[in-house]
Amino acid sequence: METKLKYRGREITDDDVAFIRDLIARHPQLSRRRLSSELCRAWDWRQENGRLRSMVARGLMLQMHRAGLIELPAVRKVMPNPFLERRKPEAVEVDETPLEGKLAELQPLELRQVRRKAGEKLVGALIERHHYPGYKQPVGEHLKHLVLGKGRPIACLLWCSAAG
């Protein structure tokens, strides 16, 4: 049995290719998404948490399609990718008159954690407007804080987990 390709640690053989071709032929009405779920059920291909590895199966089937090993049905629906098509934060009006004087005159400073709270949109809007690269959605675990002085925003702080 010749290995046609290796995908995420799984060797795909001639028999596997024949099985997938047969699966597609037996279910011509199914979408690519449903076909990948059926393949996972047939192979009992699951994640550590027990869920089907549907995205991995879809990637495998797409790679096989591009290599000419199988013929997938036409794409029916293109889902938007929220990570590629992020909207910029909406502008928020805040008092931007300059604050001059000593830091002590802004007391008491308030450090507000705004992750998943009311001030989160304000932080995104302020960073988009005042930080030269604009606002980019943090990846992974992160914190967002807003610093207020005299009740006005004076700083935004974001911390992200290190890339692993």
Average of per-residue pLDDT values in the chain: 89
Mean pLDDT for the stretch of residues 73-101 = 83
What residue ranges do the domains of the chain occupy?
A: 3-66, 82-164
Residues 6+ positions from 42 with CB-CB distance below 8 Å: 19, 23
For 99, how many CA atoms within 13 A lie in the half-sphere containing its CB? 16
The answer, yes or no, to whether residue 122 has pLDDT greater than 90, is yes
Mean pLDDT for the stretch of residues 134-159 = 90
Mean pLDDT for the stretch of residues 72-86 = 81
Give the 3-state secondary structure percentages of the chain, helix then strand then coil, rounded to 5. Answer: 30, 20, 50
The answer, yes or no, to whether residue 57 has pLDDT greater than 90, is yes
The pLDDT score that the predictor gives to residue 86 is 72
Q: Is 30 helix (H, G, I), strand (E, B) or coil?
A: coil
Mean pLDDT for the stretch of residues 152-162 = 91
Closest CA to 10 of 50, 49, 64, 51: 64
The pLDDT score that the predictor gives to residue 1 is 65
The pLDDT score that the predictor gives to residue 92 is 87
Structure tokens belonging to residue 53:
């590895």
Mean pLDDT for the stretch of residues 35-47 = 94
Looking at residue 106, what DSSP letter applies?
G
Which residue bears the tokens 């690519």? 32
The answer, yes or no, to whether residue 91 has pLDDT greater than 70, is yes
The pLDDT score that the predictor gives to residue 5 is 85
Of residues 4 and 110, more confidence is placed in 110
The pLDDT score that the predictor gives to residue 164 is 59
Mean pLDDT for the stretch of residues 128-154 = 90
CA trace torsion 22, 26, 31, 37 (10° rounding): -70
Share of the chain above pLDDT 90, in %: 59
